[in-house]
Chains A and B, each alone.
Chain A
Amino acid sequence: MYSNRYITIYTLIMTLVVSIVLAFTVTGLKPFHDAAEAIYKKRDILSAIESQLPKKLKDMSDEEVLSLFDSKVEQVVINAEGESLQGISAEKVDMASEEKKPENERKYPLYIYQSEQGKIYLTSVRGNGLWDKIWAYVAIKEDLNTIVGTAFGHVGETPGLGAEIKDNPGFPRQFEGKKILNDQGDYVSVKVVKGGAKDPLHEVDAISGATITSVGVSEMMVRGLEVYLPYLQAQKK
């Protein structure tokens, strides 16, 4: 049997050693974490316009991604009225915390990619899935109407069902070539419908077995893109 004194001192020393070592590990690795996170986010954004990139994203090294992002991508932050704000870069805007603000105070990040065929506007939208948040980067062509690509993400949708929005490359690819405005120039966005899309320009097929996630994507596409409209309309003139 060990005395209480021994046990107390043992515990104290153990906790102290462990916490000091852990604190040093975490602070020491912090710059690496931040760098890795930034690259991950940039890859995520660029994956929406993979078809427009000079190389496949998978074959690009981290340095190439960073230099491509620095040279070709312009970062804009817009407010709820659609005016671009000065002195802040889109990377710094955190969609999750913006969501908690009242609607007219929110800021929205916009990335403008300079491709050979003209500018591509990369909008960032966020909505609710079945279990948690879902989000997407939606790339819109210079005509401010046609979607060139999307990249979806989610916190915790069911693998094989809701998570297919990200895992199944067929789902985001359905959005390519869809239009957000109808013939009259009114905003309709793209809807996700069950039982087969009928409108070739404004509808895509839902994922079977993932009704709520599909409805969430549909709502997100309508509400999320709407806030970018004033800014995009202003670009037209």
Chain B
Amino acid sequence: MAETMTKTAVEKEKLEWFGPKERKLITDPLNDDNPVTVQILGVCSALAVTTMLKPALIMAIAVTVVTGFSNLVISLMRNGIPKQIRMIVQLVVIAFLVTVVEQVLKAYSYPVWKQLSVFIGLIITNCIVMGRLEAYAMANPPWRSFLDGLGNGAGYGLILIAVAAIREFFGRGAFMGYKILGATDEFLLNTSKHWWLSWYQPNGLMVIPASAIFLVGIFIWIQRSRNPKLVDVS
């Protein structure tokens, strides 16, 4: 009797639109359960697209859209997917969504597509997307899965944007493409006349992908030392 009671209690749990649980799905991945710094997923693309802020922003949006909608689709399909081929089904859904995103970008935002071309395709291999499908969408209702996808996309985007801002600033002396530090093209045209612009030498290390792994590592370090929930017990 008691067992049936609890069972119905679980089943009757209200699925709200924006209850505390739903809100947690969005906010958790931003800090306590960040896909990059805590789950250590999607690091590869975090190295590749973060040389400048603008592509990083667009990548963040694209990944958020893909994680959100693939979670939604897989969650809707979850009761019919045969267990043996669930990974293939997930991959097909992801690849499908990424192709649609790429085609839409190409049609309506061609210069951006040109800039991101390879990396859009690489969203398919971004482990965050598949990781969330396996860990969440396969076992949870659609709306929550959708929110979980959006939250994880946003958590990934947050790290991406932070890394990109630092790399662009120190590596190019610029922010969103606007030069604010160091040598401008005026300087390159006439080195002696605009000598004062050269006081900052852009840091070449920041331009190459290796710098991103250092930055992500530093982020992880800071986050672990400040967030009591993440302190390793062992």
- Interface size (A, Cβ < 8 Å)? 30
Interface string of A21-33 (1 = CB under 8 A from B): 1100110010011
Given the complex, which residues of A lie within 8 Å of B85, measured CB to CB? Answer: 7, 10-11
- Binary per-residue interface labels of chain A (13-50) against chain B in the complex, 1 for a CB within 8 Å, 0 otherwise: 01100100110011001001100110110000000000
Q: Is A169's CB under 8 angstroms from B111's CB?
A: no
Q: Are A14 and B89 in contact (CB under 8 A)?
A: yes
Cβ contact within 8 Å between A40 and B114: yes
The answer to whether B92 and A36 touch across the interface, beta carbons within 8 angstroms, is no
Residues of chain B lying within 8 A (CB to CB) of residue A209:
204
Partner of A15, one of B92, B100, B114, B186: B92
Inter-subunit contact B84/A29 (CB<8 Å): no
A174 at the interface (CB under 8 A from B): yes
The verdict on A10 contacting B96 (CB below 8 Å), with A173-B189, A209-B204 known, is no
Residue B171 is within 8 A (CB to CB) of chain A in the complex: yes
Q: Does A160 contact B (CB under 8 A)?
A: yes
* 8 Å CB interface, B24-78 against A: 51
Question: In the complex, A168→B174 CA distance in Å?
Answer: 12
- CB of A100 to closest CB in B, whole Å: 22
Residue of B nearest to A174 (CB): B189
Query: Which A residues are CB-close (under 8 A) to B110?
Result: 33, 36-37, 39-40
Complex partner residue of A169 from B82, B89, B185, CB under 8 angstroms:
B185
Instruction: Please determine whether B189 and A29 come into contact, CB atoms closer than 8 angstroms.
Output: no
Nearest A-chain residue to B114, judged by Cβ? A40
Looking at the complex, which one of B92, B171, B186 makes contact with A14 (CB distance below 8 Å)?
Answer: B92
Q: Give Cα distance in the complex from A15 to B172, angstroms.
A: 45
Judging by beta carbons under 8 Å apart, are B82 and A22 in contact? no
B108 near A32 (CB under 8 angstroms)?
A: yes
Residues of A within 8 A of B186 (CB): 170
Complex: chain B residue closest to A159, CB-CB? B51
* B106: Cβ under 8 A from any A Cβ: yes
Residues in chain B within 8 A of chain A (CB atoms): 51, 80-85, 88-89, 92, 96, 99-100, 103-104, 106-108, 110-111, 114, 171-172, 184-189, 204, 207-208
B184 contact set on A, CB distance < 8 A: 170
B100/A22 in contact, CB under 8 A = yes
The one of A10, A36, A170, A174 that contacts B82, using a Cβ cutoff of 8 Å: A10
Which residue numbers of A lie inside 8 Å of B, CB to CB? 1-2, 6-7, 10-11, 14-15, 18, 21-22, 25-26, 29, 32-33, 36-37, 39-40, 159-161, 168-171, 173-174, 209
A–B pairs, 29, beta carbons within 8 Å: A1-B83, A2-B84, A10-B80, A10-B81, A10-B89, A11-B85, A14-B89, A14-B92, A18-B96, A21-B96, A22-B96, A22-B99, A25-B99, A25-B100, A26-B103, A32-B106, A40-B114, A159-B207, A160-B51, A160-B204, A160-B207, A160-B208, A161-B207, A168-B185, A170-B184, A170-B185, A170-B187, A170-B188, A209-B204
* A110 nearest CB across to chain B (Å): 24
Give the CA-CA distance A33 to B80 in the complex, in Å: 36
From DSSP, what is the main secondary structure of chain B's interface residues? helix
Q: Which residues of the partner chain B approach A2 to less than 8 Å between Cβ atoms?
A: 82-84
Could you tell me if A18 and B92 are in contact, using CB atoms closer than 8 angstroms? yes
Give the nearest-CB partner of B188 in chain A: A170
Residues of B close to A36: CB separation below 8 A: 106-108, 110
B189 proximity list for chain A (CB < 8 A): 170, 173-174
Determine how close the nearest CB of chain A comes to the CB of B170; give it in whole angstroms. Answer: 12
**A29 to B185, Cβ gap below 8 A?**
no
Alpha-carbon separation in the docked complex, A29 to B100 (Å): 10
Q: Are A7 and B171 in contact (CB under 8 A)?
A: no
> Could you tell me if B111 and A25 are in contact, using CB atoms closer than 8 angstroms?
no
Residue of B nearest to A38 (CB): B110
Q: A1-B84, A22-B96, A25-B100 are in contact. List 13 more A-B contacts (CB 8 A).
A: A2-B82, A7-B82, A10-B89, A21-B96, A29-B106, A36-B107, A37-B110, A160-B51, A160-B172, A168-B185, A170-B185, A170-B188, A174-B188
